[in-house]
Amino acid sequence: MGETLLGVSSEYLYIHNKKPQMLEDIHKPHFLVFSPSDKNIEKERKKLIEAWKKGEENPLKHITDIGEVEEYRSFWDFEKKRKVFRVYVKRSFLVPEISDYIFFNQDLYTAEHDIPYHQRVLVDLAATNKAWMLDTEGKRKKLRILVYDIETTEFEEGRTDLPIDIIGYTSLDLSIESEKNLGTEEFNFEVLDWPSNWIENEITQVVARNRDEEIDNLLMFCDLVKQHHIISGHNIVGFDNMQIHGRIEKIISENGENLSKEQLETFRQFLAKYAKKDKSFHFGVGSEIVTVQPSTFDTYLGVRKFYPYLDDFGLKSVAPFLGIKIEGRVRLMPSQIKMDERTLLYNKHDVQEQCGVTLHLLEQALPLAFTTCMPFEMLLGSGAVNMWDHMAMIRAVHQKKIMPPVARVLP
């Protein structure tokens, strides 16, 4: 039986209604090794094992195991079979170094050494039917969505630790039912209990008038994240998530000794398990982002993916385009944000609009994430080529075919 996957980071796997699981507990980093056609694979494997067990100060010391010889299909010639074996290593980031050492010093070929580790885990778990994105195996399962937006009265371009004065949020519930068959490559996905009266959802707003209230609000937000499956908002990976992550880091640094043991543990657990710094690339240009797990659904990225022809991807333009209208909509510039009723109304309208945009885009994104087995943060930043490459990797592992090298943007 497979698990219903929600997301994956470089260290943790996020399964529906379960605590984050460390990747090291369920997956071993590895790559493939094979010999030139004029050499015997069994003899070359034994030589490598002997070199590894010498315990010398070289990259081989990071190997944890060397697998048995297996038969794989070539990615160049589908009819050709190759004898390969797996080399398992202590940590994923050591794979390229060990692979290079074996290639240059052991006269062996290596493969599948350049796959980003979170994608390696996704592909392996999917191909072996241990976990698949949003796969309920025909059962009805509820998804709880947190839609939120923050406001700060001290906005300063470039800062990622601004005081968070207001957090507005609401929850949306829907159910899904899905199943797949990798053998026949058939996929069925259905959304049930679709929220039809989202405009009437209660918007909760918490205000911080001092540092203590801000700490309480951030602790509340950390707990909220654990209670939801999808975290949504407009441009949250580039702003809201970033600010919350940076602000919590600053509070720990400046006020850590004044926090209770429980408060400190909540913040540290959030930073370690639920908030992940990363880089996003668009046409080769990188930018810092923060993904909040189990899964972040950024509607800015969603609009850019599904409606790339729009001139503007901001909420102000997107909401009317999608037919989402809030009566008496208040709009403010960053310099107009204050601790007043008008700002609270602006924040409420932001959250309401984001609810409508979230549901509109999820209608397209949910089945696509399921079919491709790609978490939203990976899916929304991928073009058609990357989606097909990812699915081809799953097929390659499922059919024991050596994967070709991965082409990606350099940091």
| 163/258 same-domain check | yes
What CATH number is associated with residue 344? 3.30.420.10
So what's the pLDDT on residue 280?
Answer: 60
How many angstroms separate the Cα of 59 from the Cα of each of 27, 28, 117, 354?
21, 17, 19, 49
| 281/141 same-domain check | yes
| 180/221 same-domain check | yes
| 103/155 same-domain check | no
For 172, the domain range is 137-380
Quickly list H helices, 107-182.
117-127
What CATH number is associated with residue 64? 3.30.342.10
| 93/172 same-domain check | no
Are the CB atoms for 270 and 248 separated by under 8 Å?
yes
Comparing CA positions, the residue from 187, 267, 261 lying closest to residue 225 is 267
In a domain, 407, yes or no: no
Instruction: Provide the 10 A C-beta neighbour count for residue 312.
Output: 10
| 209/333 same-domain check | yes
In a domain, 7, yes or no: no
So what's the pLDDT on residue 1?
Answer: 57
Comparing CA positions, the residue from 13, 255, 263, 27 lying closest to residue 124 is 27
| 171/295 same-domain check | yes
From the first residue on, what is the mean pLDDT of each consecutive set of 10 residues in the chain (411 residues)? Answer: 88 95 92 94 96 90 96 84 95 94 93 91 94 96 98 88 95 96 93 88 96 97 98 96 96 92 97 86 65 97 95 93 94 92 97 96 97 95 86 91 67 45
| 79/157 same-domain check | no
In a domain, 10, yes or no: no
| 86/177 same-domain check | no
Tracing tokens 């602006």 back to the chain, one arrives at 346
In a domain, 1, yes or no: no
So what's the pLDDT on residue 410?
Answer: 45
In a domain, 27, yes or no: yes
| 192/287 same-domain check | yes
Gap between the terminal Cα atoms of the chain:
38
So what's the pLDDT on residue 283?
Answer: 46
| 207/81 same-domain check | no
In a domain, 16, yes or no: no
**Which positions ≥6 away from 112 have C-beta within 8 Å?**
30, 31, 32, 120, 402, 403
| 319/362 same-domain check | yes
Catalogue the E-assigned strands of 104-220. Answer: 109-111, 131-133, 140-151, 166-181, 186-192, 204-207
In a domain, 210, yes or no: yes
In a domain, 97, yes or no: yes
User: Total structural domains in the chain?
Assistant: 2
